[in-house]
Amino acid sequence: MASVRLSEAQWSHILSKSGRNQEPTGDAPVDAGGAKVQPGRSRSVAYIVGLEADAPDTKWTFVQRSIDAIVQSFQPSPVLTHVELVLPPPEEGLPTGTSPDADPHMNFATYLGRKAGWGTTFENAEDFYLGKNFDAWRAIPIVAWDAPQRLRSACETHHVETEYAAWYRLYNYPFSVPPLRSFAWTLDDAPKSPAHCAALTARCLRLALPESELPNSSAWYGPSTLFLEMGRKARMQSYLKQLNDLGPPLSESEVDANEEDANTGENALLRGSDRDVKELTQLQCHLGTEKIAKKGIEATLRDDPIMARMWQKHLGKSLMKWAHVRGALSDEDMAEFLDERD
């Protein structure tokens, strides 16, 4: 089957024709006096993670292989076969007393033949996230006021248990590629209506973060086109500005402490053992992943796709280690858990 690819320049042209290629601000809301509400550091960054295309699973049915071929052949580069959300916990982690075996509520996704939910509730989750797919993850940040909590609340309230799109419509994937995506707006986009992974992720963003201003209906997006839309240079410029502006002004000693925590987090998540990752504080995880995300953004803004892809892949793998090795436990509960294991 012949492949159809759109370059980033062509993608930007399509967006400009839609009249929606303006820079999104992602700004915080304003209070009664007109001043912007300032979020706390690290509470404003959520992530989209995508799975780079590879060979289809040998156990898949003919229909599943056909859908995979459609997804891979008719999407722009980078070709992704899956997208989902990673929602960092608060810096204090989950409430005291949460079991280390509890769902850390960081990955929100849907998979073929399953209902939407939190990643650790899926069968063989550890192998899916940290095993066979570990080197294929790629991520970009979403920076908006209180983004993780707003998305988490929307997922819990409106999107858990959403059915995957029906097989007799080829799981709605034909509506995410030309020419049928011209009719994607006709598909039901209400909460709980069936959706594939990209449509569900787009729906979550549209409902929880309306300032993200997605220019097309949720079903219009496939994994690659959603990743490209949320990773456009205009968004990256806005994200970098917001990342640099997060939180109140810091003293020199606080800046130094944060830089040390960011380096510790980055080193452990990229190069450390599982024990090193488990010993990280939630703040170190936040700052470490933010630092990696900034490097990916800066490479994108330099028009360096090779380095951008490298840092996006580093970010994807770091997020998976945070979510599925460190988890969302509070620092105190994790320290107690590790002491019990020693």
Give the CA angle between residues 204, 210, 213 to the nearest 5°.
Answer: 100
Is pLDDT at 7 greater than 90 in this prediction? no
Q: Which domain holds residue 201?
A: 25-250
Contact of 15 with 220, CB cutoff 8 Å:
no
- pLDDT of res. 36: 46
pLDDT of amino acid 180? 85
Examine residue 74 and state whether it is found in any structural domain, yes or no.
Answer: yes
pLDDT tens profile 283-334: 999 999 999 999 999 999 999 999 999 999 999 999 999 999 998 877 777 7
Sign of the dihedral defined by the CA atoms of residues 294, 300, 302, 304, in that order: positive
What pLDDT shows up at residue 69? 66
- CA dist 194 and 198 (Å) reads 12
Residue 6 is predicted with a pLDDT of 55
Better pLDDT: 23 or 185: 185
**Binning pLDDT at 50, 70 and 90, where does residue 160 land?**
very high
Sign of CA dihedral 24, 26, 30, 36: negative
At residue 136, the 3 state secondary structure works out as helix
Domain count, the chain: 1
Percent of the chain with pLDDT over 70: 77
Residue 60 lies in a domain: yes
Q: For residue 240, tell me if it sits in a domain.
A: yes
- 78 part of a folded domain: yes
Q: Evaluate whether residue 314 is within a structural domain.
A: no
Give CA–CA dist 144/45, Å, rounded.
7
Q: Is residue 39 part of a domain?
A: yes
Q: Determine the pLDDT at residue 169.
A: 74
DSSP state of 120: G
Q: Is the pLDDT of residue 90 over 70?
A: yes
Q: Write down the pTM of the prediction.
A: 0.83
* Residues in contact with 294: Cβ distance below 8 Å, sequence separation at least 6, in sequence order: 240, 243
Q: Tell me which amino acid residue 82 is.
A: H
Average pLDDT, the chain: 82
Q: Which residues pair with 49 in a beta bridge?
A: 84, 139
- Does 226 map to a domain? yes
Phi first, then psi, for residue 106 (nearest 5°) are -115, -40
pLDDT tier at 77, thresholds 50, 70, 90: confident
Q: Could you give the dihedral angle defined by the CA atoms of residues 261, 265, 267 and 273, in that order, rounded to the nearest 10 degrees? A: 130
What's the whole-number mean pLDDT along residues 133-142? Answer: 96
Over the stretch 203-253, which tens digit does the pLDDT of each residue have? 999 999 999 999 999 999 999 999 999 999 999 999 998 888 766 777 888
**Residue 320 included in any domain:** no
* For residues 185-198, average pLDDT: 93
pLDDT (average), residues 276-281:
94
Segment 111-122 mean pLDDT: 83
Q: Are strands 137-143 and 107-109 parallel, antiparallel or unpaired?
A: unpaired
The confidence band for 56, taking pLDDT boundaries of 50, 70 and 90, is low
**The pLDDT value given to residue 62:** 67
Per-residue pLDDT, averaged over 2-20, amounts to 51
Is pLDDT of 140 > 90?
yes
